[in-house]
Amino acid sequence: MSAEVAEAEAVGDKGLKKNSIGFLDGLAIGLDSTAPAYSLAAVIGSIVVIAGVQAPAVLLVSFIPMFFIAAAFYYLNKVDQDCGTTFSWVTRTLGPSAGWIGGWAIFTTGILVIGSLADVSAYYIYDLFGLDGLRDSRTAVILLALVIIAVMTTICVIGTELSARVQRVMAFAQIGALLLFVVVAAFDLIAGDGGPRSIDPSLSWLNPFEIENFSEQLIPGVLLGVFIYWGWESAVNLTEESEDSSRAPGLAGIVSTITLLGTYVGVTYCLIAYAGLDKIGRFDDDAGVLGAVGEDVLGGLSFLLVLSIIISGIASAQTTILPGSRTSLSMAVAGAFPKRFAEIHPRYLTPAFGTILIGVVATIWYVGASAVSDNFLFDSLSALSLLIAFYYALTGVACAIYYRHELLRSVRNLVFVGIAPLIGAGALAYLLYESILQLADPADSYSGTAVLGIGVPLAIALFFFIAGIVGLIAWRFTGGTEFFRRKAFEAVPRDVIDGGGRVDAIGLSE
């Protein structure tokens, strides 16, 4: 046996195709997973209504915990390049039960969101081509959304390289359209050709201390703003398929968050300055605000913004499948999920079973939610915030615990590997608490109805969490006995840090 083969076995190769994607591919996937054009269109009106001209400051504050958690992903991936990310890292540090629930949270986010993203894309495809009858027909929108889900799932099965090529094009298209809006709007403002209610932009818009009421403006704004950064970690879920896997995927996640910050703040600045608060306020939570102002700014090219929203939804629908399929693969290899999820397609070298299952279950959830009402579909999206905050916070804590013996070796370690991830985790835990309080009120849901006295979004999140607890207990006493014997509070081995290697994958090292 050659040294190379021995090394491959030692690091726990799960059968995924190595070196399939590079840094730029990971960056594109990280950006597309957040659906920047769609995310901006969906929440920017509400954030401006809440915070006024300080909306850019809200987006800046929202960025901070996400950046800190991205740092945690970077440092954890340096020593444990596992496609299960949070599952693997939390299992090592907080124990198998916490790791299992963290992995389950990632697995379920895709189920909740994929259908909604495809739905938005389907709606705007009909709108772009002037097919008003089909656009306004729920049946037609659902059918096209199902086609989108099927195609994106198929691409994920066929191979990571194809997925990456598709994502590069989509990332360039949607970020390019948003930057075009920023550039044209900025030139118009400089030339004095803004809208009739335009406002002179000011750097003070970035100062969170200019916000008059933190409890009524900053906190509600951050509750909306922080989650439009979600999704960048998809790049890290592909770490075992990436070149320079100990560095590039984590760096792609960090650069993704910084790129999103610049994009979000730039678009928001130009939107407020060009259109003024009154016009934006008329839209509130209507996703049409970006398109409406885009028509004033870009004229005949405004269709590019609509196209960017379509691309954004489709791209994110595809990339959101990746974390769940890779996490379930990692869990299966570790003995935390049925072995069927560990099966790799012999030709495409992807976790085909897990990928297809996520696509199918997401389709069932989407059709079922749509059958109940459109509002139930939107409430499913609201439930995401709880799951996201939960597993991000777990990851931040895991980073500090795993590196606990290294934190005092340098100021950089203390700040970026210990303090920053813990601050990010604490901030997200607080946002989780605030979200629970908010979503417990049925009046704060799209449906406006109560389930057992609480709002529908909180009920959905609790349903999936309880289902996870039931699944954990069932697996603990059936197929996962060995996995749940693992000890908690591991620390990163000193020889791994000194030698620049990686720890053995859970399940392949025992």
- The pLDDT tens digits of the residues spanning 137-152 come to 999 999 999 999 999 9
DSSP 3-state of 12: coil
Domain tally, the chain: 1
Query: pLDDT value at position 482?
Result: 92
Q: What residues make up the domain containing 115?
A: 17-237+249-492
Digit-coded pLDDT (tens) for 287-343: 678 888 888 999 889 899 989 999 999 999 988 999 999 999 999 999 999 999 999
* Mean pLDDT along residues 365-384: 87
* Tokens of residue 30, six digits: 């990280």
Residue 328, domain member (yes or no): yes
Mean pLDDT of the chain: 91
pLDDT greater at residue 216 or residue 83: 83
Digit-coded pLDDT (tens) for 453-473: 999 999 999 999 999 999 999
Residue 279, domain member (yes or no): yes
Residue 416, domain member (yes or no): yes
- pLDDT of 500 higher than 80: no
> Nearest 10 degrees: CA dihedral of 282, 286, 292, 294?
120
Query: Tokens 């009120």 — which residue?
Result: 441
Residue 412, domain member (yes or no): yes
pTM for the whole thing?
0.93
Instruction: Specify the CATH number for the domain of residue 204.
Output: 1.20.1740.10
Q: Residue 11 — pLDDT band, cuts 50, 70, 90? A: very low
Between CA 80 and CA 463, with CA 88 as vertex, the angle to 5 degrees is: 150
Query: pLDDT value at position 285?
Result: 64
Which of 30-39, 119-128, 284-293, 340-349 is the least confident region? 284-293
Distance CA(378)–CA(144), nearest Å, equals 18
Which of 158-162, 209-213, 357-361 is the least confident region? 158-162
| Long-range contact pairs involving 216-222 (C-beta distance under 8 Å, separation at least 24) | 216/50, 217/50, 217/51, 217/52, 217/54, 217/58, 218/51, 218/58, 218/61, 219/434, 220/50, 221/47, 221/50, 221/51, 221/55, 221/58, 221/61, 221/62, 222/58, 222/61, 222/62, 222/431
Query: pLDDT value at position 510?
Result: 53
pLDDT greater at residue 183 or residue 498: 183
Helix (H) or strand (E) holding 451: strand 450-451
pLDDT greater at residue 8 or residue 15: 15
Query: Tokens 């750097």 — which residue?
Result: 203
* Mean pLDDT along residues 42-52: 89
Burial zone of 338 (CB within 10 Å; 0-12 exposed, 13-18 middle, 19+ buried)? middle
* Tokens of residue 464, six digits: 């999936």
Per DSSP, the residues of 24-53 read HHHHHHHHHHT-HHHHHHHHHHHHHHHHGG
Residue 3, domain member (yes or no): no
Q: Residue 10 — pLDDT band, cuts 50, 70, 90? A: very low
Residue 507, domain member (yes or no): no
Q: Residue 279 — pLDDT band, cuts 50, 70, 90? A: confident
Query: Tokens 């991000």 — which residue?
Result: 392
Residue 498, domain member (yes or no): no
* Mean pLDDT along residues 73-89: 97
Cβ atoms of residues 389 and 428 within 8 Å = yes
Residue 508, domain member (yes or no): no
Distance CA(292)–CA(256), nearest Å, equals 27
Query: pLDDT value at position 22?
Result: 94
